[in-house]
Structure 1
């Protein structure tokens, strides 16, 4: 196996779990997240020898651009069940909260969701998020503000939970 193939294989092995978590937050669906990561990794592999720098950032940028492209092409919204799957009684509250957060994230625009994932899930700076999304820092700030306002109005119980835990 050539050295670059071994390097890419190791990169994919190490980074796939984190990429899947980010992709799930972007798509809201495990299967779509797996598809997104697979396509992003295949494109990263094709460019592997030309990547100069952080391959993880390169792959994430591909993921974000692919997801926005898929959103533009697909205008059909999936309908999720209002009823969480049956779980142990102690897990029901966590499951309901996860579903509520997921539904709120899915109600954001594609750019707003990407900004929220980058800024708060991946803890990226405004400048890093702007570079990944290919937009200005001002756009990132505006989209972040709008997204947080929407999430605060959609999830008042989460706001109370966060403020109560301080």
Structure 2
């Protein structure tokens, strides 16, 4: 099959490339865009390490072909922080509440939590656990991740509680 030209916006920057039709979006982001924060773990969509946003929705980049993302707006973990490098509330909470250990799964958790909290700004612990259940971590024991997502929800704009109690 001949290569295909794709165009998309990645972390706010237009990208155009000619790719093999079977190239995954994860490989495109890592190899052609140099965005290595999108980690490849299982390459079967199970671990969540490759989670990115495609047109605002959290998806597994290992399960999407680059040609399927033609015309899409892509946000990777590198695009979550502000342009000046200031961490997002989710990133800062993961740092402050020990939501990471080795860091391999962290980009997927950050992107998943960012999308989740955008749609669910005041979640319960059960909702957080359910939302994060699609991401696997072999190091943290998950309590730090739960604490981080809970804290990020409290610091997000529009938080009705405004509280910062520790969890």
- Which structure shows the higher helix fraction? 1
Is TM-score (shorter-chain normalized) higher than 0.5? no
User: Of the two, which has the highest radius of gyration?
Assistant: 1
TM-score w.r.t. length of structure 2: 0.32
